[in-house]
Amino acid sequence: MGSSAISDSTRTVTFERGGTTVECGGEYTPGETLTLVISSSTNRYLFEVGGGAAIDGGDCTNTRTASNGQDVVMPASGDVTAKAGWATGKGSVKITDTCTLSAGAAATDAPTDAPTDAPTVAPTDAPTDAPTDAPTGAPTDAPTDAPTVEGATRAPSVAPTSSPTDVTTIDEGNIGGAAPSPSTTSIICLSSAILISLYALM
């Protein structure tokens, strides 16, 4: 190109991760692969990386490439730099600003819990009740009715009642004796009157 190089910020160089731009000054994951791109791929240009990054299929021990969108493998540590020189023809070569990424934390595999055997419950015998004899009741003789004589009638079961005790008998020999009680006197008087009437009729 025949002219001295000059700094120019009209074009920029960046890294992408899965199609998303990793801002310059950001971090890379050690060992990951990023894509190197330039904001405008017209005219002639040449990329250069440093800090241990390696351009896949690049020149000069994988530090330079003239292809846009090349994969770059990040180192285990350190700062990675990238820049590009470009020109439109005869004249000065323009150099973009340097894009720098620093190493972040290394990727780790997701922790996995050690498998544990499923707990097993010791089998237990089903409980069995001790056999018991079925309860047996003492046999009883069937009730039997007393034999009855055909044609015979039973004597009445009701006991005869004694003669009434509320009737007062008159002892005629006691008419002239001791004075009877008032209740007895009226009965005696009535009886005497009846006797006198009977004697008068005779």
- pLDDT tens, position by position, 35-44: 999 999 999 9
Residue 49 has pLDDT above 70, yes or no: yes
- With tokens 């020109």, the residue in question is 87
Q: Are 65 and 84 spatial neighbours (Cβ–Cβ below 8 Å)? A: no
User: Per DSSP, what are the bridge partners of residue 34?
Assistant: 72
Question: CB-based contacts of 185: which residues, under 8 Å, 6+ apart?
Answer: 179
Q: Structure tokens of 113? A: 């819990």
Q: Structure tokens of 112? A: 């996995």
109-112-114-119 Cα dihedral, nearest 10 degrees: -170
Between 171 and 43, the more confident residue is 43
Between 42 and 158, the more confident residue is 42
Number of compact structural domains in the chain: 2
What's the pLDDT score for residue 125? 72
Alpha-carbon separation of residue 130 from 33, 57, 127, 133, 136 (angstroms): 77, 87, 10, 10, 18
Residue that finishes a domain, picked among 103, 127, 160: 103
Same domain, 97 and 10: yes
The answer to the question of residue 170 being in a domain is: no
Give the pLDDT mean for 153-169. 52
Residue 170 has pLDDT above 80, yes or no: no
Residue 57 has pLDDT above 90, yes or no: yes
Phi, psi of 31 (to 5 degrees): 90, -10
What's the pLDDT score for residue 197? 61
Q: Which of 94, 90, 72 is nearest to 82 (CA)?
A: 72
What's the pLDDT score for residue 158? 53
The answer to the question of residue 25 being in a domain is: yes
The answer to the question of residue 111 being in a domain is: no
Q: Which of 184, 44, 10, 50 is nearest to 36 (CA)?
A: 50
Residue 174 has pLDDT above 50, yes or no: no
What's the pLDDT score for residue 88? 87
What's the pLDDT score for residue 96? 97
- Domain CATH for 55: 2.60.40.1080
Q: Structure tokens of 144? A: 């039997």
Alpha-carbon separation of residue 1 from 68, 92, 97, 177, 188 (angstroms): 20, 7, 20, 189, 184
What's the pLDDT score for residue 16? 98
Domain that holds residue 181: 175-201
The answer to the question of residue 197 being in a domain is: yes
- What percent of the chain is predicted at pLDDT more than 70? 55
